[in-house]
Amino acid sequence: MNSKWRTIVFFIAAAGFSCLYFLGVKNLPPWGHYRGPYGDLISAVGVYERHATDAVNAIDYDYRGFDTLGEEFILFTSVLGVMLLLREMKRPPKTSPPDKGLSDAVKASAGAGFAALVIFGIYMTTHGQLTPGGGFQGGVIVASASMLVYIAENFPVYKQITSHPLVEILESLGAGFYVIIGLVPLVLATPFLTNWMPLGKTGNVFSSGTIAAISASVGLEVAAGFLLLGYTYLEEIISDTGEESRE
């Protein structure tokens, strides 16, 4: 197929897609005119029922908490899959790559950025029920801070900090706490994932019951999961002997 025919086929396909797109978008309500009942219902009732001022987190970790449990385990299994595919084969002790010799200024500013990112990530995780944010976003922010360590220092230092077994345990704990928090109501003869913790005062950090607790456990799971992902990928790239053992 030459490039002229390819262009013609593209324009036919583009015309078809734009027709479908136009048909799909035509009957959407205009911006700011919400028509469904659920959003209005939850924003009216959420603060009184759950003491959580951020409706999105109240929905995510409480009203449809079961779906979020599934989503969390999607992440858990994909991290598991990456680690299984890129697992360490038998390899001789590798020589550490030479220190890149970055200046002290870079190292110091990376350290400051690391501290700021970790604190901001923890803030985001613990304040999900009050302001936009939550466990997922906070966890990724904490994990991305570790990349600064890799940039400023060399790989062995990065490896020490993301010391393998501990991060794995933390990830499993994060995923497990969610299920445990959800299972407790079954003992009290109420449905799975009922908000059984004291709701506290609206606007406090320790409020909204299980929403804050689940957000924290998701934050732990996501942070450890992304640390493992970054570590596994970098290990694969940096180790010089990974390929030979597989071929």
**Interaction site with other proteins (CB under 8 A):** 31, 54, 56-57, 124, 132-134, 136-137, 140-141, 144, 147, 226, 229-230, 233-234, 236-237, 240, 243
- Nearest approach, Cβ of 189 to other proteins (angstroms)? 33
Angle of the 210-238 helix axis to the 135-152 helix axis, nearest 10:
30
Shortest approach of other proteins to residue 36 CB, angstroms? Answer: 15
Nearer to other proteins, 99 or 240 (CB): 240
Specify the residue, 74 or 187, whose C-beta has the smaller distance to other proteins.
74
The pair phi, psi for residue 197, each rounded to 5°, is: -80, 155
117 token code pair: 């990112």
Which is closer to other proteins, CB of 35 or CB of 191? Answer: 35
Closer Cβ to other proteins, 57 or 195, answer by number = 57
Q: Return the number of the residue (137 or 217) whose C-beta is nearest other proteins.
A: 137
Smallest gap from residue 184 Cβ to other proteins (A): 27
* Residue 191 Cβ vs other proteins, minimum distance, rounded to whole Å: 26
Rg of the chain (C-alpha set)? 24
CB of 144 to other proteins, least distance (A): 5
Cα–Cα distances in Å, from 203 out to 46, 157, 159?
A: 13, 40, 39
178 Cβ partners below 8 Å, 6+ apart? 69, 72, 214, 217, 218, 221
Q: Which is nearer to other proteins, 69 or 124 (CB)?
A: 124
142 CB-near residues (< 8 Å, 6+ apart)? 117, 118, 121, 122, 125, 219, 223
3-state secondary structure of 126: helix
CB 48 within 8 A of CB 122: no
Work out how close the CB of 16 gets to other proteins at its nearest, in angstroms, rounded to a whole number.
Answer: 19
In the DSSP assignment, the letter for residue 194 is -
Smaller CB distance to other proteins: residue 56 or 83? 56
Least distance from other proteins to the Cβ atom of residue 60, Å: 8
Whole-number Å distance between alpha carbons of 56 and 71: 15
- What residue type is 169 in one-letter code? I
**Are the C-beta atoms of 232 and 162 separated by less than 8 Å?**
no
